[in-house]
Amino acid sequence: MRPFAAPAADRATAVGAEVLPRHVAIIMDGNGRWAKKRHLPRIAGHRQGIEAVRRVARAARALGIEALTLYAFSSENWRRPEEEVSDLMGLLRLFIRSDLEELVRDNVRLRIIGDYRRFTPDLVELLDNAVARTAVNDGPILVIALNYGAQAEIAAVARRMAERARDGLLDPSVIDETMFEGELETHDLPPLDLLIRTSGEVRLSNFLLWQAAYAELLFVDTLWPEFDGDTLAQAIAAFAQRQRRFGGL
């Protein structure tokens, strides 16, 4: 799979502001396969995945991307072995504690989407405090999807609207796409322009299903621990070559 057509020397500089995606989302896949190829435990792949998060978040800021959304823990990931889930939670704690000051210094707003309150109270408190610390920042947005599932998000919006209609607070006839979108967890983010999935898998895995309706999709073979700023720049260059018609001509 070779999705990048821009010459290597031009990838980082070829994209002008007029074609730079405002909002990029990434399904970070391949940590386990990265570790398996090296005969290492899966936790080693997850540790390298955290390093990739740092690299890519910094690169996104340098490129001028307004919002970066990372699929860190899906609502389906609870099905993994308990030890692996515990390791992932530990790495999340480590990332927040070690990187929060950098996010504050770089004027980054941290956002969490998903039902992360299912996590242990100490981790919920850590996440809440990190979001609060960066809430006054007005620079790029880093969104972490934790215990997130797009189908559950859409169902929750439908349920809230149905309850308001039942209580006479909402006329069902006025519900449209704009109103529905305004109830999503991402309602105050820029529209999703580019969704990337690493490791060669070609599916969305219950991630931002509504938001991705007109996003450009890019599936790359690179395993997430190997993803870096240059890989992101290549993806942006590929995005710049797409013609986005949004259903028109």
Does residue 207 lie within any of the structural domains?
Answer: yes
Task: Please indicate if the annotation marks 47 as binding a ligand.
Answer: no
Task: Please indicate if the annotation marks 204 as binding a ligand.
Answer: yes
Does residue 248 lie within any of the structural domains?
Answer: no
Task: Please indicate if the annotation marks 38 as binding a ligand.
Answer: no
pLDDT of 5 over the 70 cut: no
For residue range 90-136, what is the model confidence (pLDDT) as tens digits? Answer: 999 999 999 999 999 999 999 999 999 999 999 999 999 999 999 99
**Alpha carbon distance 233, 14 (integer Å):** 9
Residue 218 per-residue DSSP state: E
Q: What is the pLDDT of residue 14?
A: 47
* Count of domains observed in the chain: 1
Among 77, 115, 137, 228, the active-site one is 77
147 part of the active site: no
**Alpha carbon distance 24, 148 (integer Å):** 17
138 part of the active site: no
Residue tagged 């740092």 (tokens):
54
Among 29, 99, 147, 193, the active-site one is 29
- What percentage of the chain carries pLDDT values higher than 90? 89
Residue tagged 């074609």 (tokens):
19
Does residue 246 lie within any of the structural domains?
Answer: no
Task: Say which CATH number the domain at 228 has.
Answer: 3.40.1180.10
Write the DSSP string, 2-61: ----S-GGGTTTS--GGGS-SEEEEE---HHHHHHHTT--HHHHHHHHHHHHHHHHHHHH
For residue range 170-201, what is the model confidence (pLDDT) as tens digits? Answer: 999 999 999 999 999 999 999 999 999 999 99
Does residue 8 lie within any of the structural domains?
Answer: no
Does residue 10 lie within any of the structural domains?
Answer: no
Task: Please indicate if the annotation marks 173 as binding a ligand.
Answer: no
**Alpha carbon distance 134, 99 (integer Å):** 12
CB neighbours (10 Å) of residue 1?
9
Does residue 110 lie within any of the structural domains?
Answer: yes
**Alpha carbon distance 234, 34 (integer Å):** 21
Which tokens go with 79?
Answer: 């099905």
Write the DSSP string, 103-170: HHHTTPEEEEES-GGGS-HHHHHHHHHHHHHHTT--S-EEEEEEEE-HHHHHHHHHHHHHHHHHTTS-
Does residue 117 lie within any of the structural domains?
Answer: yes
Which domain, by its residues, includes 47? 20-240
Does residue 191 lie within any of the structural domains?
Answer: yes
User: Rounded mean pLDDT of the chain?
Assistant: 92
pTM of the model: 0.91
R_g of the chain computed on alpha carbons: 19
